[in-house]
Amino acid sequence: MTSLADQSTAQLGGPWSILARQKRDHVRLDELLHELASSTPGAEERRVLRSIARLVFPHAFAEESVLWPQARRLVADGEALTLQVESEHQEVNELWTSLETLPPTGSERREVLRRLAEVLREDVRDEEDHLLPQLQEGLGAAQLRVLGLAWEVVRRTAPTRPHPVVSRRPPGNALAALPLTVLDRSRDVLDAVADRSPRLWGRASRASAGLAGAAGRVEQWGPMRRGERPQTSR
């Protein structure tokens, strides 16, 4: 069993394969984590974190919705492997949520950032070295491309922010997808407006906070937590 990191695009099933798509996102994440490590607190750090969020959360949501159900069906120990990855996704959500409440400097923030980068790298290794190579053994190149297309469609229409209360598995994550995607991506638009027009920053921030409150209420709706395994939460 060969890690995705040691395989060419052709070996992964071509550029449209789910494996090649996963590896591309992982490479980009590594670049962003290096940027984060060298960024200065304040605007630069916020910019890099925003880029990481918009990569990581849709990526993980699409995995949980499309990819891991297939892994549980095809991989002998798929339940245990996906549960490990889902636990890492949950910790990332929790760390990110705590990060949003911390001041821009300080030892506690530095520790959360350190642990966040550590968990993200652990997640990549668990996927590339263990889970995805076993999934690869059970699927042909054409199947990998079909799965890649389905994953990409979900990724492009998925929430872009942490939602630690929502289930990491269907049906809860599927029910949460539409309302949280609309709210998250509306907040992304407001962020862009604030970046381009500093004089609108206050108004955009208040509107974003209102949408964040709405997302919190959506998360608390009982059906959004259905399907979660107790072992996922730490």
Write out pLDDT tens, residues 79-95.
Answer: 999 999 999 999 999 99
The verdict on residue 218 lying in a domain is yes
The verdict on residue 3 lying in a domain is no
Domain count, the chain: 1
The verdict on residue 74 lying in a domain is yes
The tokens for 53 are 């969020």
When the pLDDT of each residue in the chain is averaged and rounded to a whole number, the result is: 94
pLDDT of residue 34: 98
Secondary structure (DSSP) of the chain? ---GGGS-TTTTTSTTSHHHHHHHHHHHHHHHHHHHHHPPTTHHHHHHHHHHHHHHHHHHHHIIIIIHHHHHHHSTTHHHHHHHHHHHHHHHHHHHHHHTTS-SSSHHHHHHHHHHHHHHHHHHHHIIIIIHHHHHHT--HHHHHHHHHHHHHHHTTS--S--TTS-SSTTHHHHHHHHHHHHHHHHHHHHHHHHH-GGGHHHHHHHHHHHHHHHHHHHTSGGGGTT--GGG--
The verdict on residue 147 lying in a domain is yes
How far is Cα 51 from Cα 65, in angstroms, rounded to an integer?
A: 22
Segment 168-213, tens digit of pLDDT: 998 999 899 999 999 999 999 998 888 888 888 888 889 998 999 9
| Phi (first) and psi of residue 10, to 5 degrees | -65, -45
The verdict on residue 182 lying in a domain is yes
The verdict on residue 2 lying in a domain is no
pLDDT of residue 233: 63
Query: Is the entire prediction scored with pTM above 0.75?
Result: yes
Segment 25-65, tens digit of pLDDT: 999 999 999 999 999 999 899 999 999 999 999 999 999 99
| Phi (first) and psi of residue 211, to 5 degrees | -70, -35
The verdict on residue 227 lying in a domain is yes
The tokens for 114 are 């350190």
The verdict on residue 77 lying in a domain is yes
Domain residues for the domain of 189 are 12-232
